[in-house]
Structure 1
Amino acid sequence: MCGKGGKVYITEDMLRAIVVEQSKKGPTGRNQVEQLEFCEVQKLDLGSRHISRIERLWEFTSLTTLHLNNNNIQKMEGLSRLTTLKCLNLSFNNIVKIEGLESLKKLEELNLSDNRITVLENMDSLEKLVSFNMANNVLKNLRQVCCLKKLKNLFTLNFCGNPLSEEENYKLFIIAFFPNVKYLDYRYVNSEIKKQASVKFNIELEKLSQEDLEREKKTEALKAQQAELQTHVDAFVESLNGSFLFEHMFKDDPLENKLQSVPEIAAQLFTFKQKMTELCVQLFETGLVEHRRRQAEVNSFFTSHSLTTADIMQKETKLLGEFEKYFKELKKESAATSQTDHTDELTKLQKHLLTLEFKLISQIEMMIKKLDVVLSEMIGTFSETAQEIFAQCRELEDKYHEKMQGIVTSTIEKVSRHHGVEDLSDDVKMVFLDKETVMGALTTAHENHLLIIRDRENQMITRANAWKSRLIKKLQEKEIQRNRKVLSHITTCVDHYDEELHKLFSR
């Protein structure tokens, strides 16, 4: 379909015609070609057709090679579903930006030569890339080529015709920073030029190597930290390995900051924080231990599940193998027997297979129920421990509040007599001039603190029970799906043999 300015748009009819045309050139016959589905096509050549936009290619889910060279394409798009693509040729177009390649993780060859690209970007996911052709583009900064160092499999590079290729020591730079490259700008990279490059950029290579090492260490440290935090979340005890809960209780309490100017209050707050933190850490450590115990039970379940399933499958395979052998012998001797006898044998096979499957269902159901009981007991024990510790936290808050009331009452009297409060600032003294207000604020803060503790307790217990329920439900649903597939397979298998028997005795 041609639009204004001679632009060509990809249509289904065009694709169908091209698939048929290109397949005729191969070993496939015409009748087969005309029935070929887009999802079966592995190679597609759309080069030199004045195409202005990449579209309508989502059905080519088996495509490994795609040529779109010598067209009028300006934007890299419409490629995200071509996840099997290994070779992509977009040379001789009007592309200005590298994009849309994130899902092409199997790509090995990429040709973007003779376009108008100015920046190397959006290529981190192309870890399998072996050949990259960027000849005759508008790359100016030689240093930006280093962003490709993450692609460890690069074997062939081409940057000739770019402004950066005119820089001094261009080839030595590329060869030094990409020691695995064998071909640069269509020329073989020999050991002698590799040695020259290494000597020329030795200091920069060492610096870059050190930077890579530091970056790798930071990445590994971040991964380890994220993994540890995820373990805390999975154990339902995140942010309990310190004073986080205590600080959360007081973060929106501006009055508390002023009250801490009173030495007695500061001392009480310090003691409260210390004891509260100890309880939280105790719960945190208990949670991690319980998490490991739960995980061990789950792992044990999956191990038993695999062994039990493998045992039944082995028996099913043996039965099918024996019947297949029996059926082959039957073909040789069918004239001397009746179909009824062999239909009985097929019925026996079906009965044995179903018996094995029902046995497996029963065993797995029992295993899931046992796991449910064990995990319920574990979650129950953990919840009881959590409730006890959170109850102690509330007791600490009650005692702290009680002592605070006494200290505040005493301080109010001192302020009213202007005695023993010389070290307090005027704005703090002002707080103690209105007894009703300050005591009301204390009560409100106390209620908020208790609410925060209760919310954290409820959150922990609710999440723990929800995790167990989700896991058991998922296991049950997965088993139902497995059972349906097996029963369908048995039915298909028996129907097949029944049909073959019918054909055999109908001759």
Structure 2
Amino acid sequence: MSWLFDTVKLNVVDEEMLQKAVEEQGPQEQAGRIAKEEGIHYNEVCQLSLDYRNIRKIDHLWQFTALTKLQLECNKISKIEGLETLINLTILNLSFNNIEVIEGLDTLVNLEDLSLFNNRISVIHNMDTLLNLKLLSLGNNCLAQLENVIYLRKFKNLCSLDLAGNLICEAENYKIFVTAYLSDLVYLDYRLLDKQTREHAYGKYQNSIEEMKHNETQEQKALEAKQGLEEELQLHRDAFVEFLNGPYLFDSMYADDPEASKLAYLPGVDVLLETYKSQLVVLCEQVFEIGLAQQGRRESEVKSFFGCSKEAVSDNQQRAAQVAADFEMTRRQWMGEMQQATDMHLLEAQVMHCSEAISLLCDSLMTLELQLVDQLEDIIKDFERNITDMVAGFVEIVQGIFAQCRDLENHHHEKLLEIAVATLERVAKNELEEDMPYDVRMLFVDKDTVINAVSASHDTHLLKIDNREDELVTRINNWMGSLMKSIQDEEVKRNRKRISEIHNYVDYVRNQLDEMQQQHEHP
């Protein structure tokens, strides 16, 4: 039989296969015909079955963003890939394939039911993001290490687990071990775990489980603390003021300044630096606090805009739906009358009247869409004006504070230069009592050398201040530009889709009218 198997053609998921599958599984008869005429939109397909197709590679699924159920069982797939955009998947079946490694599932955070039954998997891993998982089937695989099951403790929603047919099931303590470490399981290998089994399992592994729970609690606390810091930092980034709530700018100025450590040895510079640092931190924190406040205002404005836009679209859709419903009720009545008509002159009059009504319907729906376009255009213009004023006001304040930072750096530079020149004179007169490292003393071989060192330090600091200001201003302007472009693009997309919907519906009712007329002319 092997020669017969070798002759089977292996396939890759391609456009032709997908189109055929969607057509086969989509609406049939009249609804199917309308769907084909309007075009198949992959981003609206919710379920897709690609089983028994000798598929060896998953591909071309990136358009199916609304997919909630995907069936790929009974193929020749050896690698889980090409699923990154299917973030709405809740059910995924990859049973009866040749998969050896669990991978490629990181983005499927909504997955609840995963079947990998009858593959070649030897390790349970790479599933950290699937925290909504409720049902997992790994039966008939190559799992040999019973301890590997402990990995599944992180899935608190997991209630059904199938491991039957693996080597681990041959272990004497298999059922007790799995029950003990996965205490939230309800079904194991499709059998209900009773109270007696649970009590026995907990009693046998109590010490190990208690220690593991303690470690997991500590890890969870550390993880939550880390996530809290990351969320806080992201908030600061969204406000464009990250690392301005402390001495970060000051520290970066001196971290990249090779002369700073040498000049710090000069008499009185330590006090000067402390004063400079505290004053610069105050200015940075002003930018930080203003940035967070402005971010809150921008968020409110954005939320208000999308709320108004959604309300306008919803209201317009309701009015259009009512117009279409009224027309549809009348149209069905006319169609019924025309089916019964025997007088051709009367039928022609009815067809003419219905045709005029269809034209009026089209005009009404197009007028409503035009009204919505004008309304949304006004809303978008108001929003753009408001958000532009907000950003411009924030930038103006920020630039004023960064100007103060430069003034502070200039003042510090002047003071440092005075100390450096005075130190040079004392070195020349051999009046300096403090011991200096060799590289510091080399600064004072002549006046040009020491002045150049102080100026180089000054230039480094000013560049850091300028770069941080430019970064903030550039990023917030880019954010505003991207936001407005995405809003405009989405509105164009919505408008085109709506016009297409109107034309498709009008064409559909006209075709039905034409078919009715042809049936009477050629009975």
Choose 329-338 or 299-308, whichever is displaced more: 329-338
Q: Which one of the candidate residues 163, 167, 172 is aligned to 1:158? A: 163
1:184-263 aligned at under 5 Å gives the runs 184=188, 188-263=192-267
SS of residue matched to 1:156: strand
Counterpart amino acid of residue 415 in structure 2: K
2:498 match:
486
Counterpart amino acid of residue 44 in structure 1: D
Do structure 1's residue 11 and structure 2's residue 10 form an aligned pair?
Answer: yes
What do the CA deviations read for 1:177-229 (whole angstroms, capped 9, x no partner)? 12243454676532212111112222222222233333333333322222221
Do structure 1's residue 343 and structure 2's residue 355 form an aligned pair?
Answer: yes
Q: Given the superposition, is the C-alpha separation of residues 175 and 353 from structure 1 closer, same or farther in structure 2, using an over 3 Å criterion? A: same
Q: Distance in 2 between matches of 1:160 and 1:469?
A: 57
Q: Given the superposition, is the C-alpha separation of residues 348 and 456 from structure 1 closer, same or farther in structure 2, using an over 3 Å criterion? A: same
Q: Distance in 1 between matches of 2:439 and 2:456?
A: 21
What do the CA deviations read for 1:335-366 (whole angstroms, capped 9, x no partner)? 45532223222222221111111111011111
CA RMSD of aligned residues (A): 3.5
Do structure 1's residue 370 and structure 2's residue 382 form an aligned pair?
Answer: yes
Q: Given the superposition, is the C-alpha separation of residues 76 and 102 from structure 1 closer, same or farther in structure 2, using an over 3 Å criterion? A: farther
Q: Distance in 2 between matches of 1:79 and 1:291?
A: 39
Question: Given the two structures, how large is their TM-score scaled by the length of structure 1?
Answer: 0.82
SS of residue matched to 2:241: coil
Counterpart amino acid of residue 362 in structure 1: D
1:13-32 aligned at under 5 Å gives the runs none
Deviation at 1:407, TM superposition (A): 0.6
Q: Given the superposition, is the C-alpha separation of residues 252 and 421 from structure 1 closer, same or farther in structure 2, using an over 3 Å criterion? A: farther
2:514 match:
502
Q: Distance in 2 between matches of 1:136 and 1:259?
A: 68
Q: Distance in 1 between matches of 2:351 and 2:166?
A: 77
1:295 match:
299
What do the CA deviations read for 1:246-288 (whole angstroms, capped 9, x no partner)? 1221112232212212231111111111111100000111011
Counterpart amino acid of residue 110 in structure 1: L
CA contact (8 A) 1:55 1:78 kept: no
Do structure 1's residue 66 and structure 2's residue 68 form an aligned pair?
Answer: no
1:385-400 aligned at under 5 Å gives the runs 385-400=397-412
Question: Given the two structures, how large is their TM-score scaled by the length of structure 2?
Answer: 0.80
Q: Given the superposition, is the C-alpha separation of residues 100 and 223 from structure 1 closer, same or farther in structure 2, using an over 3 Å criterion? A: closer
Q: Given the superposition, is the C-alpha separation of residues 316 and 208 from structure 1 closer, same or farther in structure 2, using an over 3 Å criterion? A: same
What do the CA deviations read for 1:306-350 (whole angstroms, capped 9, x no partner)? 111111111000000000111122124344553222322222222
SS of residue matched to 2:137: strand
Q: Distance in 1 between matches of 2:353 and 2:189?
A: 74
Deviation at 1:160, TM superposition (A): 6.2
Q: Given the superposition, is the C-alpha separation of residues 505 and 225 from structure 1 closer, same or farther in structure 2, using an over 3 Å criterion? A: same
Q: Given the superposition, is the C-alpha separation of residues 181 and 10 from structure 1 closer, same or farther in structure 2, using an over 3 Å criterion? A: farther
1:461 match:
473
Q: Distance in 2 between matches of 1:185 and 1:485?
A: 48
Choose 338-347 or 396-405, whichever is displaced more: 338-347
Deviation at 1:78, TM superposition (A): 5.7
Q: Distance in 2 between matches of 1:186 and 1:235?
A: 51
Q: Distance in 2 between matches of 1:67 and 1:488?
A: 39
1:23 match:
none
Q: Distance in 2 between matches of 1:415 and 1:190?
A: 88
Do structure 1's residue 352 and structure 2's residue 364 form an aligned pair?
Answer: yes
1:32 match:
none
Q: Distance in 1 between matches of 2:449 and 2:435?
A: 22
Q: Distance in 2 between matches of 1:97 and 1:505?
A: 62
2:182 match:
178
Q: Which one of the candidate residues 290, 298, 314 is aligned to 1:286? A: 290
Q: Which one of the candidate residues 128, 138, 141 is aligned to 2:133? A: 128
Q: Which runs of 5+ in 2 are unaligned?
A: 21-27, 29-39
CA contact (8 A) 2:267 2:419 kept: no
Q: Distance in 1 between matches of 2:403 and 2:264?
A: 26
2:49 match:
42
SS of residue matched to 1:300: helix
Deviation at 1:505, TM superposition (A): 4.1
CA contact (8 A) 1:415 1:421 kept: no
Deviation at 1:448, TM superposition (A): 2.4
CA contact (8 A) 1:265 1:404 kept: yes
Q: Distance in 1 between matches of 2:100 and 2:231?
A: 39
Choose 226-235 or 493-502, whichever is displaced more: 493-502
Q: Distance in 2 between matches of 1:340 and 1:267?
A: 95
CA contact (8 A) 1:237 1:284 kept: yes
1:405-420 aligned at under 5 Å gives the runs 405-420=417-432
SS of residue matched to 2:78: coil
Q: Distance in 1 between matches of 2:255 and 2:285?
A: 20
Do structure 1's residue 474 and structure 2's residue 486 form an aligned pair?
Answer: yes
Q: Given the superposition, is the C-alpha separation of residues 185 and 303 from structure 1 closer, same or farther in structure 2, using an over 3 Å criterion? A: closer
What do the CA deviations read for 1:14-54 (whole angstroms, capped 9, x no partner)? x99xxx9xxxxxxx9xxxxxxxx9x99736347xxxx9xx6
Deviation at 1:165, TM superposition (A): 4.3
Counterpart amino acid of residue 162 in structure 2: L
Deviation at 1:150, TM superposition (A): 2.6
Do structure 1's residue 77 and structure 2's residue 89 form an aligned pair?
Answer: no
Counterpart amino acid of residue 318 in structure 1: Q
Identity among equivalent pairs (%): 32
CA contact (8 A) 2:257 2:460 kept: no
Do structure 1's residue 109 and structure 2's residue 101 form an aligned pair?
Answer: no
Q: Distance in 2 between matches of 1:99 and 1:107?
A: 16
1:24 match:
none
CA contact (8 A) 1:279 1:389 kept: yes
Q: Given the superposition, is the C-alpha separation of residues 274 and 478 from structure 1 closer, same or farther in structure 2, using an over 3 Å criterion? A: same
Deviation at 1:8, TM superposition (A): 5.6
CA contact (8 A) 2:443 2:453 kept: no
1:33 match:
none
Do structure 1's residue 403 and structure 2's residue 379 form an aligned pair?
Answer: no
> Which protein has greater RCO, CA pairs closer than 8 Å, 6+ apart?
2
Q: Distance in 2 between matches of 1:412 and 1:398?
A: 21
SS of residue matched to 1:173: helix
SS of residue matched to 2:491: helix
CA contact (8 A) 2:163 2:169 kept: no
Deviation at 1:389, TM superposition (A): 0.5
Counterpart amino acid of residue 11 in structure 1: L
Deviation at 1:57, TM superposition (A): 5.5
Q: Given the superposition, is the C-alpha separation of residues 59 and 265 from structure 1 closer, same or farther in structure 2, using an over 3 Å criterion? A: closer
SS of residue matched to 2:420: helix
Q: Given the superposition, is the C-alpha separation of residues 496 and 99 from structure 1 closer, same or farther in structure 2, using an over 3 Å criterion? A: closer
Counterpart amino acid of residue 79 in structure 2: E
Deviation at 1:56, TM superposition (A): 4.9
Aligned residues: 470
Q: Distance in 2 between matches of 1:416 and 1:272?
A: 28
